[in-house]
Structure 1
Amino acid sequence: MSNPPFEDYADRMDAFVQANDIQEDKQASLFLACVGPGAYKLMKNVCSPAQPSTKSYSQLKQLLAEHFKPATIVIAERHKFWTARQGERETVADLVVRLKNLASTCAFRAFLTEALRDRLVSGLHSKMSRIQRQLLSIRELSFEDAKSKCIAEEMAGAANQQHVGINAS
């Protein structure tokens, strides 16, 4: 298994700091004591010429976050989002999670739910063409309604397939 993203590690560290009510002046020291030797060496290089111990916890997190996840190029991120399609064996629920993840770097702001709705409907696999046609005919369609209808269609298809399989025996 690959290493989790730094932001996941930082979120867990934040939770530990909060759960243990660690005072702000001790947070950087705790962070430095908890990271592994490789991460500490990286921190030294990122902070150079200063020492990591001269930085606050927030500063250390920011430096590492910028190192591990440089600023994204919105148009490239949106290209990935707008070209995403449901895989043959991918469930609608999994597609929705993947689309939300892709959208998180697209800076859609107030357009987010419309973008998710549009990509969900447009990106459905051909096996979902019947529900896709139905969704395209709804004048005021929300993302949540589109998602619910797709999941219901998928479940009905699976139940029907199971029923046909049982009767074929």
Structure 2
Amino acid sequence: MGENWRRWSQRLDVYLTASGSTEKSEATQVAILLHTIGEDGMEIYNNFVFANDADKLKWEPVLDKFQEYCNPRKNTVIERYMFWETKQKEGESIDHFVTELKTRAKNCEFGDQTNMMIRDRLIFGIDNTRLKERLLRDSADPTLDRVVEICRASEASARQIKEISEPGSSPGMAVHVVNKRAKHKPSKHHQKTSQQKSTHSMKCSRCGTSHKKRECPAYGKNCLKCGKQNHFRSECRSRPSERKNDVHDISVQECDGLSDLFIGELQIGQIGPDDAAIYNKGWFTNLKMNEQNIKFKLDTGAEANVCYHYHVLKS
């Protein structure tokens, strides 16, 4: 009740100042108070006993009566006990937790030690164990503002990591791990996952995976070894002399619960005159990578976007 009265009376002061009512008579100000305080407040006012009837329309006596009613004599020990028992609730923000501590501290009579007490309770009461250990190891005796700043930074980092690591939590924020294959064979992980998806299918000699009949991902694709169609480089049986390109197959492995994505083709090299017309169709954007502006083609319908980075070594 005391906290409700404090907040309401503060809003009343703001209203009286904004409306210019502070220049009006005390009786008018009391009338505004009684009009806005509600039925319960009016009933409480009617039960007040004043020293004389004239005090019923005086500002200070009326405020004092409401103050005494809403703030009975408090037990400082109990107030401090409640303060030290306050803990950060699950999902509660740091700012909300600090506000609650400051509100409780007003009734604890800490004096000039108030900020230090709030700082200590903030460190002891936060829900993040690692952050608590970090703050306890700090021997610099940080101020309350410094502790709040560290807690806010930790909270923001945790929120950003959650958005990045959880698929579907934020568009474009899913993280995929892309690795080069040491051998020209499908990874065991990819074989196992593909077999689980189609228990009645066998390993395909063209793409190296298991799939349903007539659904081979290599169909219509050019081999990056021999240039012929309808098979991938990993399953190519051409001789070394017949190879046209020398690139790495890649697979997208499962990361933090993400489902597998198979990338059937990755082309590296110069674009021929026959391919230029096809390549230049679509949307493009320039992105800066390693201090260089590189032209990227945007594929809004792709399940995965791949950036292949390589170094050229000179002897």
TM-score by length of 1: 0.84
Secondary structure (helix, strand or coil) at the match of 2:126 reads coil
Q: In 1, distance between residues paired with 2:115 and 2:33? A: 39
Q: Which residue of 2 aligns with 1:40?
A: 42
Shift of the 130–65 alpha-carbon distance from structure 1 to 2, 3 Å rule, reads same
C-alpha contact 2:30 2:58 (8 A) present in aligned 1: no
- The reply to whether residue 119 of structure 1 matches residue 118 of structure 2 is no
Structure 1 unaligned blocks of 5 or more: none
TM-score by length of 2: 0.47
> For residue 87 of structure 1, what is the amino acid of its counterpart?
K
Q: In 2, distance between residues paired with 1:33 and 1:91? A: 37
C-alpha contact 1:46 1:63 (8 A) present in aligned 2: yes
Give the structure with the larger strand fraction.
2
Out of 89, 92, 103, the residue aligned to residue 91 of structure 2 is 89
> For residue 42 of structure 2, what is the amino acid of its counterpart?
Y
Show the 5 A alignment for 1:9-158. Answer: 9-19=8-18, 20-23=20-23, 26-32=25-31, 34-36=33-35, 38-47=40-49, 50-51=52-53, 54-125=56-127, 128-139=128-139, 140-158=141-159
CA offset digits 1:99-125 (Å, max 9, x no partner)? 111111111111111101100000011
Q: In 2, distance between residues paired with 1:117 and 1:154? A: 17
CA offset digits 1:120-160 (Å, max 9, x no partner)? 000011xx111111111112211111111111111111111
| Percentage of pairs with the same residue | 20
> For residue 136 of structure 2, what is the amino acid of its counterpart?
L
CA offset digits 1:64-117 (Å, max 9, x no partner)? 111122122111011011011111111111111111111111111111111011
Q: Which residue of 2 aligns with 1:164?
A: 165
Give the structure with the larger helix fraction.
1
Question: Could you say which structure has the larger radius of gyration?
Answer: 2
C-alpha contact 1:84 1:123 (8 A) present in aligned 2: yes
Deviation at 1:10, TM superposition (A): 2.4
Query: CA RMSD of the aligned region, Å?
Result: 2.4
Secondary structure (helix, strand or coil) at the match of 2:47 reads helix
Deviation at 1:49, TM superposition (A): 7.0
Shift of the 14–149 alpha-carbon distance from structure 1 to 2, 3 Å rule, reads same
Structure 2 unaligned blocks of 5 or more: 167-173, 176-257, 260-315
Shift of the 43–50 alpha-carbon distance from structure 1 to 2, 3 Å rule, reads farther
Deviation at 1:62, TM superposition (A): 0.8
C-alpha contact 2:88 2:97 (8 A) present in aligned 1: yes
Deviation at 1:42, TM superposition (A): 2.1
Higher relative CO (CA 8 A, sep ≥ 6), structure 1 or 2? 1
